[in-house]
């Protein structure tokens, strides 16, 4: 990609179409370790969660809100990270952790980033989910195969619920649905997008909205 500004640089992103959760339907080509994890019985459970209809209006859900603040830079550009995290659930006690930053030269400049994560769950979050996805105290490699399978199924269900919650927030009755057909390597793909009936802007898209171009100057 060409730019007249010689100080500009671009990140290109190659996007290949595929099918969501295809590893649960066909594990061929995956590593031996992953194939051991994706046993036939486990894949059947995962496919059931991924494909069954969910009516969140009739589900009793617990709401969790996770907040994280990262302090990144100090005056001498030493990378220091301060993380404050708390998760508050329905009737559950919160937890958190932090770090005290001591800099003898003083801090002249601090940039920070705040992250919000909303989770709706039909059950209390498992400790492994909290340790892996919230506090990062563990990695998936720290879990046994059975623990990893349980975590994947839990996360899969939570992803579906959160996605449905966001869909209900963004899509309104009367919005328009469009089908976009495109070809990649001689294979035809169908992509559904939803546009607001009020603004005519895209409010829901699984594929094209994920494609972005970052420009640095």
pLDDT digit string, tens, across residues 90-148: 323 333 333 334 444 444 444 445 566 788 889 899 999 989 988 888 988 899 999 99
- Work out the number of other CB atoms within 10 angstroms of the CB of residue 82: 14
**Mean local confidence (pLDDT), 147-164:** 92
Q: How many CA atoms lie within 13 A of 85 on its CB side?
A: 18
pLDDT, residue 65, reads 81
| Residue 128 to residue 126: CA distance in whole angstroms | 5
Mean pLDDT of 181-201: 90
Closest CA to 94 of 54, 58, 134: 134
166-186: per-residue pLDDT in tens? 888 899 999 999 999 988 888
Alpha helices in the chain (DSSP H): 22-25, 32-37, 40-51, 127-129, 145-170
* Least reliable range by pLDDT among 66-70, 150-154, 202-206: 66-70
Summarize pLDDT for 38-92 with one digit per residue, the tens. 999 999 999 999 988 888 888 888 888 876 655 444 444 444 444 333 333 332 3
pLDDT digits (tens, 9 = 90+) for 31-47: 898 999 999 999 999 99
Highest mean pLDDT among 5-19, 55-69, 194-208: 194-208
Q: What gap in Å lies between CA 74 and CA 62, rounded to an integer?
A: 39
User: What is the model's pTM?
Assistant: 0.67
Radius of gyration of the chain from Cα atoms?
22
pLDDT of the residue at 217: 56
Could you tell me the maximum CA-CA distance found in the chain, to the nearest angstrom? 62
């Amino acid at each position: 990609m060409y730019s007249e500004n010689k100080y500009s640089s671009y990140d290109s992103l190659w996007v290949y179409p595929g099918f969501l959760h295809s590893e649960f339907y066909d594990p061929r080509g995956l590593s031996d370790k992953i194939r051991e994890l994706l046993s036939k019985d486990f894949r059947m459970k995962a496919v059931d969660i991924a494909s069954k209809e969910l009516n969140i209006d009739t589900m009793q859900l617990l709401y969790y809100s996770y907040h994280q603040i990262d302090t990144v830079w100090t005056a001498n550009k030493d990378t220091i990270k301060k993380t404050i995290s708390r998760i508050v659930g329905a009737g559950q006690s919160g937890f958190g952790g932090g770090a005290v930053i001591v800099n003898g030269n003083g801090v002249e400049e601090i940039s920070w980033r705040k992250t919000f994560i909303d989770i709706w769950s039909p059950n209390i979050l498992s400790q492994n989910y909290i340790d892996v996805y919230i506090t990062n105290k563990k990695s998936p490699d720290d879990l046994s195969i059975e623990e990893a399978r349980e975590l994947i199924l839990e996360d899969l269900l939570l992803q579906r619920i959160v996605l449905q919650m966001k869909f209900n927030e963004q899509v309104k009755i009367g919005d328009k649905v469009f089908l976009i057909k495109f070809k990649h390597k001689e294979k035809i793909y169908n992509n559904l997008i939803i546009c607001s009936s009020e603004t005519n802007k895209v409010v829901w898209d699984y594929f094209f909205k994920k494609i972005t171009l970052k420009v640095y100057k």
